[in-house]
Chains A and B, each alone.
Chain A
Amino acid sequence: MKRSLFTLFVVVVSLVILFTGCATFSDSQETQETEAPTAEATATTKPPSQDIVNETDEKGVVTIIDVLGNELTLPEEKPTKIISLTPANTEMLFALGLGEYVIGVDEYSNYPAEASAIDKVGDFTGPNVEAILALEPDLILAGNKLQIDAVTQLKELGLNIAAVEATTYDEIPASIKLVGDLTMTQDVAQQLIDDMKVAEEAIIAKANTYEGEPISSYYILSAGEYGNWTSGPGSLINDMFELIGVQTVTNIEGAVPWMDFSLETLITEDPDILLMSGHAFLTVEALVAMDGYKELTAAKEGKVYIVDGDITGRPSVRIVEALEILYNAIYNQDN
């Protein structure tokens, strides 16, 4: 009997040791994992940003490379039956004036309003291959790494599909340029990119005039019983905060772009401002009354703002609007 109790004890202790050992292991693995995709993303997305001069072979066929590193040939005619598999792609297509040629979108494409009326060819479980085939598209615009399986499958079926969605803020202009190339609307695309750059610089210039104490913030994707999901380094949100001189408290070691964050770390970091996505399914009142959150200085001082998660979360043409929204929430609190 004593022996079995002792064994139980030994097993428990060795498990603890094993797992504290593993903690460091999984830690380093985690960082590797987070680094790897970023490196990969830059590697695969570099080409479109660098290929301002697209590669032309001897026969005069121009090839372009999408964000997954797939080679595509530049179209000879303007595509007129386009399917978009992400809300960001849909927004880009409409901004390029191609709305009337979009024949299929995913469930979440809700902007501009006309997009909601277009046939749905995918939802949170992924693109619906059969529905896509039935529409006989001449161009399909997919997302990024998240849709790699669908891209491979549709490619094998002989469809003209390109992964065009940016992962980070910096990749957005290249993403718009890529869509412009694929739809033969290069001029409009370039105009959009230039306009966005001008608007972006204006916001950054405004933000640079701020002379007070540095402001820190935290973005709430969900809270409480939904888990404390937030944005981390490498996410669009954190990139935008950095541009307007705001420190995100999740920019710490071990953090990943999207994560279920430790509540006690949030309390230790105690951000000045809380921004909550409209998708968080919570009112400001409910949030500031929530255990844990109510201890935060921002909650006590009522510095909690809801932002439109559609605008702030999509790597597309409205990202400058998102930047403006974040700027206003952070610096124009008294207005």
Chain B
Amino acid sequence: MEKDIKAQAQKKFLIGIIILAVALVIMTGVSLLTGAGMDMKKSLAALLDGEGTASVILWKIRLPRILMCILAGAVLSVCGAALQGLFKNPLCDPHILGVSSGAGLGAAIAIALGFTYSFLGVGSITLMAFATGILSIFLVTALAKSGGKVSNISLLLSGIAVGAFMGAGILLVMRMAHDKAENIIFWTMGSMTFASYKQLLYTAPIVIVTMTLIMFHSRELDMLSQGETWAAEGGVNVALTRNVILILAAIGTAAVVAGSGIIGFVGLMIPHVVRMIFGPKHSRLLPLSALLGAVFLLLMDTLARIIIAPLEIPVGILTAMVGAPFFIYILKRSVKND
């Protein structure tokens, strides 16, 4: 009997993976053919036999942006799922630990001081954003420590406090460097428009490695989401696992924020949607979240490109505006079914 349920869950998981993978492929195709610069017919012609401007738009503007969306959507969702499991808190998302505001502050300082160096082709502002994003997670854990121990609630609270502090720091930098305020605002509003192969070259490895490593901790996350004592009895090194997950989530999130700005709601919503349909087991939850997150963000970014063309809207606006009602619908439905 139990075996049956397990087999059924496994079957459901496989079907889910296949459906989402197909959806991702279709969405990639649709996205490649959609945009402000060329209509679908022209894009299709360029896809089949493209040269000149048309192929530049297709392969140098649209494709890197699509890949960046897939990576960002996937990693934000995986980080969100892992953090929700780790903290047993449904309101966790990758931005809750102060990483995003930390990255924003780093970028603001780099812009204000006029840094112009680059390292391996990565601009100083991106580097600085990435570094301060990671740094903030260490600050959060250090602040949360009391008597050598770190409790979940103090981690969350110090994450929120550090986030607020860093956010205020951004405003302070803008006020002091008032001639650069405009640039800082533009940067923080940044979206997927900056995506390029150069950016993918460093984002992709970071994102793929952090996602894979988080997925390796599925069993530990399952046990931790049952309770720390329970996990410890089951042979999980609670403190170590928590630190590893935190740092991985920080790295993954910082890589995305440094390149594309803050994209809210994906990391919060996607894991919940997956959990409602496929259950809370992390070995299924994490890969499915990655796929659904990728499909969702790609869909939103495609809309962001065309809704008010030739103007761009930051994709974060859409993820929240579309995500929130969708999320509430799913939530209500699942409550009714219970």
B311's contact among A23, A123, A225, A254, by CB below 8 Å, is which? A254
Could you list some 21 contacts between A and B, CB below 8 A?
Answer: A19-B307, A23-B306, A23-B308, A30-B308, A123-B178, A124-B178, A125-B175, A226-B187, A227-B186, A227-B189, A227-B194, A254-B311, A255-B311, A256-B311, A260-B193, A265-B310, A267-B37, A267-B56, A279-B183, A291-B198, A295-B53
- Identify the stretch in A4-12, A68-76, A191-199 within 8 Å (CB) of chain B at 4 or more residues: A4-12
Chain B proximity mask over A14-30: 1 for CB below 8 Å, otherwise 0: 01100100110011001
Identify the interface centre among B53, B111, B114: most chain A CB within 10 Å of its CB: B53
Whether A262 and B183, one on each chain, are in contact in the complex, defined by CB atoms closer than 8 angstroms, is no
The secondary-structure label for the interface of chain B is: helix
Contacts of B333 in A (CB 8 A): 7
CB pair A26–B191 under 8 Å, yes or no, is: no
Q: Which residues of A contact B86 (CB under 8 A)?
A: none
The stretch that binds A, out of B12-20, B72-80, B217-225, B226-234, is B12-20
Contact B36 A262 (CB under 8 A): yes
Interface centre among A224, A259, A260, by most B CB within 10 Å? Answer: A260
Question: How far, in Å, is B210 (CB) from chain A's closest CB?
Answer: 22
Specify the chain B residue showing the minimal Cβ separation from A31.
B308
Bound Cα distance from A26 to B313, whole angstroms: 12
Give CA–CA (A267, B306) in the complex, Å: 16
B326 adjacent to chain A (CB < 8 Å): yes
**Contact of A265 with B37 in the complex, beta carbons under 8 Å:** yes
Residues of chain B with a CB closer than 8 A to A264's CB? 35-38, 57, 61-62
Kindly identify which residue among B12, B183, B190, B305 contacts A281, using a CB–CB cutoff of 8 Å.
Answer: B183
Contact of B19 among A5, A16, A19, A22 (CB under 8 A): A5
Most A CB within 10 A of own CB, among B56, B186, B190, B330? B186
Contact A5 B15 (CB under 8 A): yes
**At the interface, yes or no: A157 with Cβ under 8 Å from chain B?**
no
Q: Which residues of A contact B189 (CB under 8 A)?
A: 227, 260
State in angstroms the CA–CA spacing of A302 and B310 once bound together. 25
Residue of B nearest to A250 (CB): B310
Contact of A263 with B by CB under 8 A: yes
Q: B181: shortest Cβ distance to chain A, in Å? A: 5
- How many residue pairs at the A-B interface have CB separations less than 8 Å? 140
Give the nearest-CB partner of B30 in chain A. A16
Q: How far is the CB of A261 from chain B (nearest CB, A)?
A: 6
A261 CA / B312 CA spacing, docked (Å): 6
Please tell me if the beta carbons of B56 and A27 are within 8 angstroms of each other in the complex: no
A3 CB to closest chain B CB (Å) equals 10
Is B61 a contact of A292 with CB atoms below 8 Å? yes
Interface string of A93-131 (1 = CB under 8 A from B): 000000000000001100000000000000111000000
Report chain B residues within 8 Å CB of A295. 53, 56, 60
Would B311 and A262 count as touching, CB distance under 8 A? yes
| Smallest CB separation, B132 vs chain A (Å) | 16
Are A16 and B299 within 8 A (Cβ)? yes
B117 within 8 A of A: no
The number of chain A residues touching the other chain, given as a range, is: 35 or more
Structural contact, A255 and B310, CB atoms closer than 8 A? yes
Most buried by B among A7, A123, A254, A268: A268
Is A134 among interface residues, defined by CB-CB distance under 8 A? Answer: no
How far, in whole Å, are A77 and B52 apart by their CA atoms in the complex? Answer: 66
**In this assembly, does A53 line the interface, its C-beta being within 8 Å of a C-beta of chain B?**
no
> Which residue of chain B is the closest to A281 with respect to CB atoms?
B183
Contact yes or no, B277 A262, CB < 8 A: no
Size class of B's contact patch?
35 or more
User: Is A270 part of the binding interface, using a Cβ–Cβ cutoff of 8 Å?
Assistant: yes
Complex Cα spacing A1 to B273, Å? 13
A334–chain B nearest beta-carbon distance, Å: 27
In chain B, positions 229-248 with a C-beta closer than 8 Å to chain A are none
3 nearest CB pairs, A to B: A264-B37, A291-B196, A262-B36
List of A residues within 8 angstroms of B114 by Cβ = 281
What's the minimum C-beta distance from B269 to chain A, rounded to whole angstroms? 13
B126 within 8 A of A: yes
Question: Which residues of the other chain, B, contact A268 by a CB distance below 8 angstroms?
Answer: 37-38, 53, 57
**Does A305 have its Cβ within 8 Å of any Cβ on chain B?**
no
Closest to A283 in B: B116
A11 to B181: give the CA distance in the assembly, Å.
41
Residues of B within 8 A of A9 (CB): 19
Determine the distance from Cα of A264 to Cα of B60 in the docked complex, in whole angstroms: 10
Bound-state CA distance A108–B191 (Å) is: 28
Known A-B contacts A19-B307, A262-B37; A267 and B178 likewise in contact (beta carbons under 8 Å): no
Chain A residue nearest to B261 in the complex (CB): A225
Nearest CB in chain B: distance from A11 CB, A: 6
Interface residues of B in 147-192 (CB under 8 A from A): 174-175, 178-183, 186-187, 189-191
Min CB distance B254 to A, Å, is 15
**Distance between Cα atoms of A126 and B336 in the complex (Å):** 49
Additional A-B contact list (13), CB under 8 Å, known A267-B37, A281-B114, A292-B61:
A8-B273, A30-B311, A108-B178, A225-B126, A225-B190, A227-B191, A262-B35, A264-B38, A265-B310, A267-B56, A268-B37, A279-B182, A281-B111
For B182, the chain A residues whose CB sits under 8 A away are 124, 222, 279
Q: How far is the CB of B63 from chain A (nearest CB, A)?
A: 11
State A17–B31 Cα separation when bound (angstroms).
15
A146 at the A/B interface (Cβ < 8 Å)?
A: no
Q: How far is the CB of A214 from chain B (nearest CB, A)?
A: 19
Chain B residue at minimal CB-CB distance from A255: B310
Q: Which of A26, A124, A292 contacts B181 (CB 8 A)?
A: A124
Contacts of A22 in B (CB 8 A): 307
Contact indicator A260/B326 (Cβ below 8 Å) = no
Cα distance, A15 to B303, chains bound together (Å)? 11
Query: A19 to chain B: which residues have CB within 8 Å?
Result: 303, 307, 322
Q: Which of A30, A225, A250, A279 has the most CB of B within 10 A?
A: A225
Interface centre among B114, B182, B196, B314 (most CB of A within 10 A): B182
| CA gap between A101 and B74 in the complex, in Å | 60
* B247 CB to nearest A CB, Å: 25
B276 → A minimal CB distance (Å): 8
